[in-house]
Amino acid sequence: MKMNILLVNCYRDGAEEKIRPYHEWLSAGAAAAGLELAVMDADARELPAADEEFAAVIVSGSQKMVGDGEIEPGLADFLRGNRRPLLGVCYGHQALARAFGARVKRDAQVHLGEEEIFLNKTDPLFSAFPHRFRMVESHEEIVARDNDLERVFMVVAESQSGLVEVIRHREHPLYGVQFHPEKSGEPGIRLLANFLSLI
């Protein structure tokens, strides 16, 4: 079965090089899920029309800072209006939360390297995952866990220190992950295969 996936590239510097691991990850995830993907690349500043044919959306990381207002208005509108399955990665996770009114802020520390993630809720995105697992992180900002966030999203997973790691929209198949599954080896591939199986 062939599936069209929209890959939104949010990187500012070295965009072509930085998006390459996402393509490799998508190939590996598709193979694990037994699917054939056609990846449609889009720049976050030039998103496709709403009637464009794609089955799901992946929104990449970025060097930009959502908390400093570095989010294209068109991207925020796209995220709010999209009802297809969506997975926001790092910056994509933060942009998704911000598009629906949640707060994104600088953390007291920079997060680099592997971090232990704890599942709070059962969710098909984490089918066959243990209660705790490790993923690679690379970020300075975090999504604030408060009423503005939890009115729209469920917090599916958090870090050992209680930071928001995974969100899911309460009504639509929209997910955000603070970590980088495309850099996390087998667990990241399994997460993507689970996401693809939701479509």
Instruction: Kindly report, residue by residue over 22-76, the tens digit of the pLDDT.
Output: 999 999 999 999 999 999 999 998 888 766 789 999 999 999 999 888 898 899 9
Of 42-51, 111-120, 122-131, the least confident = 42-51
The model's pTM: 0.95
Residues pairing with 194 in the sheet: none
Record: fold of 2-197: Rossmann fold (3.40.50)
Kind and range of the H or E element at 112? strand 104-119
From the candidates 10, 90, 93, 141, which is the catalytic residue? 90
From the candidates 93, 111, 139, 180, which is the catalytic residue? 180
How many angstroms separate the CA atoms of 104 and 91, rounded? 10
Residue 83 corresponds to which amino acid?
A: R
Known catalytic membership, residue 180: yes
In tens, the pLDDT along 173-194 reads 999 999 999 999 999 999 999 9
Residues 6+ apart with CB under 8 A from 132: 116, 117, 118, 119
Beta-carbon-side half-sphere exposure of residue 88 (alpha carbons within 13 Å)? 30
Q: Are 177 and 126 in contact (CB under 8 A)?
A: no
Q: pLDDT averaged over the chain?
A: 93
Known catalytic membership, residue 23: no
Taking the alpha carbons at both ends of the chain, their separation in whole angstroms is 12
Query: Which among 60, 38, 37 has a CA at the least distance from the CA of 47?
Result: 60
Quote the tokens at residue 42. Answer: 């889009």
Residues 6+ apart with CB under 8 A from 47: 8, 74, 75, 78
Known catalytic membership, residue 182: yes
